[in-house]
Amino acid sequence: MSKTYSKTRTLVECALMIALGTVLANIKIFEMPNGGSITLLSMLPFILVSYRHGTKWGLFTGFVNSLLQMLLGFYAPPAPGLLPLVGMILLDYVLAFTLLGLAGAIAKPFKNRLVGVAVGTAAVCGIRFLCSFLSGVLIWGNLSDGLPAWTYSLTYNGSYMLPETILTTVAEKSFSGPMFEEVTAPFPGQTLLDRTSMNTWEDQAVIDKVNEIGKPRIVLAGLWTSVCIVGPALSALDQGFEVFVIADACGDISTEAHNRAMDRMVQAGAQPITSLQYLLEMQRDWARTETYDMTTGIAKKLGGGYGIGITYAKTMFGAHEG
- Quote the pLDDT of residue 308: 83
For 78-145, give the secondary structure using H, E and C. Answer: CCCCHHHHHHHHHHHHHHHHHHHHHHHHHHCCCCCHHHHHHHHHHHHHHHHHHHHHHHHHHCCHHHCC
Least confident residue range of 67-71, 93-97, 163-167, 286-290: 163-167
What is the per-residue pLDDT for 272? 95
Catalogue all structural domains in the chain, each as residue range(s) with its CATH number: 3-173 (1.10.1760.20), 181-317 (3.40.50.850)
* Active-site residue identified among 14, 125, 228, 250: 228
More confident residue, 148 or 15: 15
Angle at 185 between CA 181 and CA 186, to 5 degrees: 140
What's the whole-model pTM score? 0.50
* Residue 228 annotated among the catalytic residues of the structure: yes
**Bigger pLDDT: 175 vs 263:** 263
Q: Is residue 47 over pLDDT 70?
A: yes
Statement: residue 5 has pLDDT above 60: no
CA–CA distance, 63 with 96 (Å, rounded to integer): 9
